[in-house]
Structure 1
Amino acid sequence: AWYSKSVTDGITPSTGSDGFVNARSEEGSWGGAPVRFPLIQGADVAGTIVGVGTGVDPARIGERVIVDPWLLGTGDWMDLANAIYFGSECDGGFAEYTVVRSGNALRINTDLSDAELATFPCAYTTAENLVARTDLRPGETVVI
């Protein structure tokens, strides 16, 4: 119930522990649905396209990509009810191979390694968001 909507307090020693009591396992995924098993987790993915599905240009094979883990639905793309998260509501990238919609495989050209790139989609953006939410001031330090 990591993402349980019933846990709304900030993370402190008491609310962090108390949150387990309030957490609802039926809201365990990113989108608030139950986590289904078996599940391959992993939102932080970078690699090379080795195959494509129907309707995808075969010229994409061999492209170096990073995965956008927000799998937005049709209609209002800002409505999170229309979205699922890669590795939460569907199988993700902690595997030798994975499958994602073509539009979520973003071509990239960089000297960064796949391991470095794979920190960007979820881990880096989570850390960046947490730093922004703390409203740090010059001279303050945060450890993530």
Structure 2
Amino acid sequence: TTEIASLLAQHGLGVSTAISIGGDPITGSSFASLLPLFEADPETEAVVTFSEPGGAMEAEMVETIQKQGTGLRIVSFIAGNFMAEMPGVRFGHAGALVQRDEDSAAAKASMLRAAGVHVADALADIPALLRG
């Protein structure tokens, strides 16, 4: 969260709200539940999400986008592309686990792109994707 906020500040982009929603074992909220709040905020023009392999939060966000649409530019970065080479192994602070192909970073990126989300291949790509 802080690394992305710092990156945006370095590129002259502001942050209205920064939320760390937790990892798979313990989540505080979800992208899907927060997206309508950002939609309703006239000061919010875009949303950046940071994801890891494992879990279903991205699929839930895609479902929300498909049902309700979005007027926001959404940019996502998904860490952990290397994990596809090591199925069944836990990684990271959240203990992310790729159990199925759809849990992989590549599958999540593909699903998000199909829903109109701009997926950054590297953190450094986020500012340019936000600007369009």
TM-score if structure 2 supplies the norm length? 0.24
For CA contacts below 8 A with separation 6 or more, give which structure has more relative contact order.
2
Point out the structure with the larger helix share: 2
TM-score if structure 1 supplies the norm length? 0.23
Rg larger in structure: 1
